[in-house]
Amino acid sequence: MFKKNIFICVALVCSLMGFSQESQKIKYKKNTRGACEIEGKLEFPNKSKYSKIFLYEIKGNDEYILDSANIQSHEFSFKSTVFPTGVYRLSFAHPSNHETLDFVINPEESAKMFINITHNTIKRGYNIQGSVENKIKKLYTTKEQSIEQKVKLIRKSQKPRDQKIAEMRTLQDELFDYGVSLNNQYPGTFFGMILSHMQSKNINSSHLYFNDIDFTDESIVRSSLLPNRIQVYFQTHANWPNNQYGFHDAIDYVMENAKVNDYVAEFCMYNMLDGFYNTGQADKKGAAIWMELCNYIMDEYIFGEGCGDDVEPSQLLKERASQFKNLQLGNIPPNFSVSDINGNTVNLKNICKKHKFTVLMFWASHCTHCMTELPGFASWYNKNSNRDFEIIAVSLDRSENKWRQTVKDNNFNWRNLCQFKDNVGLVYKSPICLDYKIKKTPTMFVLNKSMQIVAKPKSTHQLRSFLLSNK
């Protein structure tokens, strides 16, 4: 018994020493930048059809391409580059593959990363050798996917609304607690720090809500931390519509905290601007509040002086904000020249000049709502031979064959465009979709002869009503 107890104690000490050595390899330091080389190998059947892989930087809920690498002999290598600590993304350049892998780069942990990919949908099978950051990321992602499946079942259930909300909040708390436990188990990591701050320690206090966030740390931008925290703050403390200016006050509070760092402040401005714009696009009632809030951010903080002398928005941010202004009623959106399904060049400005109205319609064959509305609308369109309007339908399809077949089967005889080849398997990433801030389908713009936006219908029923009443 004595020997057995000694063995157990020795095993425990060795285990603790191993844990200590693993967790103490890194100590997260804010605003860390350093050189890191990324290499990898494909180890799954049919890997020969993959010839290129792309590397993206994650900022909040958006991705920005950084580099690409050729896959030779089933291996790839990105040149050594200086990376800020944060979350990054890998994706194959293959039309049939739409899966990505999010992973963590922390230069303090290692100057070299090796990624074994064992499945063509990367996140289903991969291993990043010797990385505690990515060990935490992988464990958390597995838990997160499990929670998401449970949430989907709750949403589909026939339970009362209040019960659904309560159960989903319980699951969200469970996920947060798991993230905190990972941070406690592996202290000193970037991703553990992010997980431990996904919920505010002062969630019910509007003036203390962000006290646990270090806004001088630019690395927090390269994660979903700030978008999640900002969204919950709006939901919890804006008190709209009971307080007409609740959202305005919430915006001011976010910026008051963020202005300590120009980079983080710009991120918060754009994140809120993008969020309010897309909420307005999805709002079936078309509430004016969302565009009002977009204008408030642009007028007070980006083009105005809401931050005083503390933050001077960059020219890049001003250009990105101008894109939102261009998509408002009465303004002129971006022009484009793209080949249609028959190989003919479609220039938006030229089309607008020839018709009283031009409808720019974004859709996809895999969008159930689109395929419920568009066939009937196409039938009405085809019967109106003397129409004084034209339709340019921009598809967000990934498969050329499916797109062409859908157009043919449903007699979509308007001008059909698709930029799936530019999407690298990632939906909504074609140049036109990016210019028009497309986040859902169907989305429609009605333009006049001068290419000004005169309507943004929420459905083909609204579109038809507009066209009939403005002959």
Angle value at C-alpha 453, between 449 and 459, nearest 5 degrees: 115
pLDDT digits (tens, 9 = 90+) for 185-244: 999 999 999 999 999 999 999 999 999 999 999 999 999 999 999 999 999 999 888 898
Residues 6+ apart with CB under 8 A from 169: none
pLDDT at 309: 53
Q: List, for residues 400-459, the tens digit of each pLDDT value.
A: 899 999 999 999 999 999 987 544 434 467 889 889 988 888 999 999 999 999 999 999
Pair 112, 39: CB distance under 8 Å: yes
pLDDT of residue 72: 95
The reported pLDDT for the residue numbered 19 is: 43
CATH number of 337-469: 3.40.30.10
What's the pLDDT at 304? 75
Question: pLDDT tens digits, residue range 293-323?
Answer: 999 999 999 987 655 456 788 898 999 899 9
- Residue 345: pLDDT band by 50, 70, 90 thresholds? very high
DSSP-assigned letters across all residues of 383-407: H-TT-SEEEEEEE--S-HHHHHHHH
- Between residues 178 and 4, the one the model is more confident about: 178
Residue with token string 């074609």:
430
Indicate whether 161 pLDDT > 90.
Answer: yes
Q: What is the pLDDT of residue 11?
A: 44
Q: Which residue has the higher pLDDT, 42 or 366?
A: 42
**β-pair type (345-347, 337-339):** antiparallel
For residues 91 and 56, the answer to whether their CB atoms sit within 8 Å is yes
Give residue 12's pLDDT. Answer: 42
Closest CA to 269 of 288, 255, 290: 255
- SS3 label, residue 145: helix
Please provide the average confidence, as pLDDT, over all residues in the chain: 89
CA distance 63 to 55: 10
Asked if 391 contacts 381 with a C-beta cutoff of 8 angstroms, the reply is yes
* Tens of pLDDT, residues 81-119: 999 999 999 998 654 456 789 999 999 999 999 999 999
Classify residue 375 by burial, with Cβ atoms within 10 Å: 0-12, 13-18, 19+. Answer: middle
Domain ranges in the chain are 33-129, 131-195, 197-326, 337-469
Count of CB atoms situated within 10 Å of the CB of 3? 7
Selecting from 2.60.40.180, 2.60.120.560, 3.40.140.10, 3.40.190.10, what CATH number does the domain 33-129 have? 2.60.40.180
What pLDDT score was predicted for residue 285?
Answer: 77
Residue 21: is its pLDDT beyond 80?
Answer: no
pTM (2 d.p.): 0.84
Strand ranges of the sheet holding 453-455, from the earlier edge strand across to the other edge: 415-418, 389-395, 357-363, 443-447, 453-455
pLDDT for residue 428: 63
| Separation CA 176–CA 198 (nearest Å) | 7
